[in-house]
Amino acid sequence: MGTVSAERLSAIFVEVADTLVDEFDLFDFLHLLTDRASSLVGAAAAGLMLADEHGRLEFIAGSDENVRLVELFQLQNSQGPCLEAFRTGQSVINVDLAAATARWPLFAPRATAAGFRSVHAFPLRLRSQVIGALNVFGDTRGGNFDDADVPIMQALADVATIGLMQERAIRRSEALTEQLQGALNSRIVIEQAKGALAQIHNVTVDEAFNRIRAYARSNNRRLTEVAHLIVTDLPSLPGLAQP
């Protein structure tokens, strides 16, 4: 890597900043961010994890949300690059998964089995705290982030933090807890909606998520709002109510 053009980079940051205005949806924003994070460096997948009040990392958004990938995130409650970035506040880069079994006995083989060959993680930092991590999976061995890529990815992680904290004044330290708890609950709503739609349309939960996302995009609705309506008032979404 290290081949990211300045033009491409600025276009991505402008696009991301553009979504941060007015009534933005946190999950639309985080999905965009993980999409762009992975495409920027030619990675196979990227995702975000946030810590709850017990310091447990929860998957919050990904460039892709297939079951195998989500499992890889969930596994990182006990071990893996996200947990390391979260605990140390330092980025983890260019780890060759084939050679990382000693470091992460559970995570590394599963990530390899899922088709990934390298992994990276960047802490989400807010003042003196680390609130989560941005995870990037590559399908090339060892990854090849160079010195120029690292600050770019860290900047995207910092932008994710800004998005998370944007909805309310962050000067109050209580706002952090309020935001994180709200985001974690919204994530649960999305999972409930995936389940409901998978049952109605008789598809997998992965496909259900794709349909929810596509519906939100084509109807210019917020992902979180669509997910909530699927669970609480499905008839109000005629395009989704029937398979």
Stretch that binds other proteins, among 24-32, 53-61, 107-115, 140-148 (CB under 8 A): 53-61
Query: Which of 27, 29, 59, 122 contacts other proteins by CB under 8 A?
Result: 59
Q: Tokens 């609130």 correspond to what residue?
A: 131
Under the criterion CB under 8 A, does residue 158 sit at the interface with other proteins? yes
E strand or H helix at 64: none
Query: Which of 19, 66, 74, 79 contacts other proteins by CB under 8 A?
Result: 74
Helix (H, G, I), strand (E, B) or coil at 96: strand
Under the criterion CB under 8 A, does residue 199 sit at the interface with other proteins? yes
Query: Which of 112, 129, 140, 210 contacts other proteins by CB under 8 A?
Result: 129
> How far is Cα 69 from Cα 86, in angstroms, rounded to an integer?
19
Under the criterion CB under 8 A, does residue 15 sit at the interface with other proteins? no
8 Å CB contact between 91 and 215: no
Closest to other proteins by CB, 39 vs 78, is 78
Under the criterion CB under 8 A, does residue 56 sit at the interface with other proteins? yes
Closest to other proteins by CB, 138 vs 161, is 161
Under the criterion CB under 8 A, does residue 88 sit at the interface with other proteins? yes
Residues in region 204-223 near other proteins by CB under 8 A: 205
Under the criterion CB under 8 A, does residue 200 sit at the interface with other proteins? yes
Closest CA to 158 of 105, 56, 89: 89
Sequence-distant (6+) residues with CB within 8 A of 133 are 48, 49, 57, 81, 82, 83, 85, 86, 121, 122, 123, 124, 157
Query: Which of 152, 197, 216, 237 contacts other proteins by CB under 8 A?
Result: 197
Query: Which of 6, 21, 171, 235 contacts other proteins by CB under 8 A?
Result: 171
| CA angle (52, 56, 57) in 5-degree steps | 85
> How far is Cα 148 from Cα 50, in angstroms, rounded to an integer?
26
**Shortest distance, position 3 Cβ to other proteins, whole Å:** 25
> How far is Cα 79 from Cα 103, in angstroms, rounded to an integer?
9
**Burial zone of 233 (CB within 10 Å; 0-12 exposed, 13-18 middle, 19+ buried):** exposed
**Residue 243, CA distances (Å) to 17, 200, 207 in order:** 36, 6, 12
Under the criterion CB under 8 A, does residue 58 sit at the interface with other proteins? yes
Query: Which of 19, 66, 77, 94 contacts other proteins by CB under 8 A?
Result: 77
**Residues in contact with other proteins by the rule CB under 8 A:** 51, 53-59, 70, 74, 77, 86-90, 123, 125, 127-130, 158, 161-162, 170-174, 177-179, 181-182, 185-186, 188-189, 191-200, 205, 227-228, 230-232
